[in-house]
């Protein structure tokens, strides 16, 4: 997917075609029984409702002139019964369609969210998270009315239209044909604005996506914004994006609203034509034209354009939905680049040997981050990876967890190519603490248990004690049951890292990956943490990325990575003796600490 940000409109990878609607139909198919029942009920309701003008015609042309009061009373009771039955059916329709629509919405949202769980890091690297979120929430919600009412109402109104035309033809063919002359004019209007409507709704969805992306980014970065007093600049950017969205929305709605006045005008013109010609033919004594006929025909003409209006509104909703369906299905169709091979096997219990052989990797074409690196981590080794920012350190550990696919080369664990095993069976045997210590909303106990949902409270507490998080946790208002909000903003950075560390350790991994695990922990806590880790690292293969070199002095092997290559490799003493890259890095840090 092409790189994108909040001020760049998204470009669809493929144009809309009718297969999108067919695909939407696959979500509707399981509810065809409910749809059939609803349509049947509404058809009955519509048919009953169509009797009213016909009954009114009989009353005016027969019962009233003949003074048949008893018949008028009976027919009035019949009308009341009809309207009662119609109201009951409408209540049943609302319940059925609401339930069906929300079930379909739930399934679509579940599918798109489930697919997002499988997409590789590269997908999230290239797209603002707000633009992803708007597809899962806003775009899917926008289909709700279409699925809940639009389809059922349109099919029902189509049947109603057939009933109305049949009743009109049974009353007077000539006046019915006058009424139908408005349809070609309406079709001309619809086809004239159709393409403009779709383009307008696509543009509106782009601007909505941009606005949502900026809102999400601004919320996540609010501390930085206020620290650098960027509030006013951010408000200006927001207003620009909001105005773009408003303009796009107004354009789309303006085109949508062209249909309603068109239908209203055409309906008025046909009504006027029927009345004018009907009265003229009535005065001329044309056979079959009576006052009752005119009253019934005008009643049916008003009803005739009601289903036309409903179908036109459905057409508008469909054009609106198309712009969202394109985005939704585009996301669901986003290829899962990192996935199990067809013949993938379960990863056997990991012992811990990790081997890179001529591994090359790039995030962008022709810009390699790693260029043919090779090394072997034996069982129980602690491998420290150091080097300048952007050298590829984090990339190495991401490849071990198979968050990305290699461009070339081979990466094996215990001699097994990780491309040939099931990803879940690989990752569940590894403990990973990434540089970003993400804390989920919920209790501290739940956050630590996230790494092993079957762990007991005692095991959670033991893990926290090992990483020296227990002391600060028990001092919180509710201890391990203390609620923390999203991203753990109530906790210090160091506390969040300790909780994330406990989460990784609770999984009891054979391979442990720590990315800047102690970067935000004070020196005193770091000393305590090292005591607990010395026991944990024994018998496990570990990979540690650290800028604070004091934390990796006892590592089995230290690799200095720069420019996509391993420039140096050896233990602490060996690398210092070489007086190369690592020596310069260590001495510069040592001198800095000495001065401070």
* Other CB atoms within 10 Å distance of the CB of residue 569: 15
Residue 445 pLDDT: 92
In the chain, the domains with their CATH numbers are 19-332 (1.20.1560.10), 348-429+510-520+539-596 (3.40.50.300), 435-508 (3.40.50.300)
Q: Looking at residue 596, what is its pLDDT?
A: 46
pLDDT value for 528: 59
HEC profile for 12-27?
CCCCCCCHHHHHHHHH
pLDDT of residue 3: 46
pLDDT of residue 189: 77
| CA pair distance 57, 290, nearest whole angstrom | 9
Give me the pLDDT at residue 524, please.
Answer: 65
Output the pLDDT for position 1. Answer: 38
Largest CA distance in the chain: 121
> Whole-model pTM?
0.66
Is residue 8 exposed (0-12), middle (13-18) or buried (19+ Cβ within 10 Å)? middle
**Separation of alpha carbons 248 and 238, rounded Å:** 15
Q: Do 596 and 587 meet the contact criterion of CB atoms below 8 Å apart? A: no
Return phi, psi of residue 203, to 5°: -65, -40
**How confident is the model at residue 412, as a pLDDT?**
95
416 has which bridge partners? 413
CA distances from 102 to 143, 148, 313, 406 (A): 10, 7, 20, 42
Alpha-carbon dihedral 535, 536, 540, 541, rounded to 10 degrees: -100
Mean pLDDT by 10 residues, the chain (596 residues): 57 58 84 83 77 77 82 85 85 82 87 87 77 81 72 74 81 83 79 74 80 80 74 87 88 77 79 80 67 78 76 72 78 87 92 94 84 93 89 90 91 94 90 73 87 87 86 90 75 79 81 74 63 68 82 88 92 91 84 50
The 8-class DSSP code of residue 583 comes to: H
Report d(CA 531, CA 220) in Å as an integer.
Answer: 35
φ/ψ of residue 490, rounded to 5: -75, -15
């Amino acid at each position: 997917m092409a790189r994108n940000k909040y001020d760049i409109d998204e470009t669809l990878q493929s144009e809309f075609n009718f297969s999108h609607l067919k695909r939407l139909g696959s979500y509707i198919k399981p509810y065809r029984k409910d749809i059939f029942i609803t349509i049947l009920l509404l058809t009955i309701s519509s048919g009953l409702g169509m009797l009213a003008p016909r009954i009114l015609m009989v009353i005016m042309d027969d019962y009233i002139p003949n003074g048949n009061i008893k018949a008028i009373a009976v027919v009035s009771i019949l009308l009341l019964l009809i309207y009662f039955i119609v109201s009951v059916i409408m209540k049943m329709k609302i319940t059925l369609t609401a339930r069906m629509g929300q079930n379909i919405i739930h399934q679509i949202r579940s599918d798109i969210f489930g697919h997002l769980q499988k997409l590789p890091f590269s997908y999230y690297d290239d797209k603002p998270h707000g633009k992803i979120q708007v597809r899962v929430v806003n775009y899917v919600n926008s289909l709700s009315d279409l699925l809940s009412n639009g389809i059922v109402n349109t099919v029902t109104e189509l049947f109603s239209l057939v009933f109305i035309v049949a009743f009109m033809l049974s009353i007077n063919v000539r006046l019915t044909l006058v009424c139908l002359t408005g349809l070609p004019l309406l079709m001309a209007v619809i086809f004239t604005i159709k393409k403009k409507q779709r383009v307008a709704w696509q543009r509106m969805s782009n601007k909505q996506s941009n606005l949502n992306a900026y809102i999400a980014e601004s919320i996540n970065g609010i501390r930085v914004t206020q620290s650098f007093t960027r509030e006013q600049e951010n408000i200006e950017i927001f207003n620009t994006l909001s105005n773009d969205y408003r303009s796009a929305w107004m354009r789309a709605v303006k085109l949508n609203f062209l249909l309603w006045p068109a239908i209203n005008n055409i309906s008025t013109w046909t009504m006027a034509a029927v009345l004018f010609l009907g009265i003229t033919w009535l005065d001329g004594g044309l056979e079959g034209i009576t006052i009752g006929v005119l009253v019934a025909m005008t009643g049916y003409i008003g009803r005739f354009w009601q289903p036309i209006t409903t179908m036109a509104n459905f057409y508008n909703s469909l054009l609106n939905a198309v712009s969202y369906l394109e985005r939704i299905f585009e996301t669901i169709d986003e290829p899962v680049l990192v996935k199990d091979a067809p013949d993938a096997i379960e990863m056997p219990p990991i012992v811990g040997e990790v081997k890179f052989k001529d591994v090359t990797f790039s995030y962008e074409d022709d810009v390699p981050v790693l260029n043919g690196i090779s090394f072997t981590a034996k069982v129980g080794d602690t491998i420290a990876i150091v080097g300048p920012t952007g050298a590829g350190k984090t990339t190495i550990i991401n490849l071990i967890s198979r968050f990305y696919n290699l461009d070339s080369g081979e990466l094996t664990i215990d001699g097994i190519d990780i491309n040939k095993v099931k990803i879940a069976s690989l990752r569940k045997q590894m403990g990973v603490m990434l540089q970003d210590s993400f804390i989920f909303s919920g209790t501290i106990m739940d956050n630590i248990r996230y790494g092993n949902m079957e762990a007991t409270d005692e095991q959670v507490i033991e893990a926290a004690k090992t990483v020296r998080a227990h002391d600060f946790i028990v001092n919180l208002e509710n201890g391990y049951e203390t609620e923390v909000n999203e991203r753990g903003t109530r906790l210090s950075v160091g506390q969040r890292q300790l909780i994330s560390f406990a989460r990784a350790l609770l999984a009891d991994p054979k391979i442990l990956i720590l990315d800047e695990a102690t970067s935000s922990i004070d020196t005193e806590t770091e000393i305590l943490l090292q005591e607990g880790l010395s026991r944990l690292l024994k018998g496990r293969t570990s990979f540690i990325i650290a800028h604070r070199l004091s934390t990796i002095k006892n590592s089995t092997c230290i690799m200095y990575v720069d420019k996509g290559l391993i420039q140096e490799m050896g233990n602490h003493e060996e690398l210092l003796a070489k007086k190369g890259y690592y020596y310069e890095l260590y001495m510069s840090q040592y001198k800095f600490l000495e001065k401070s």
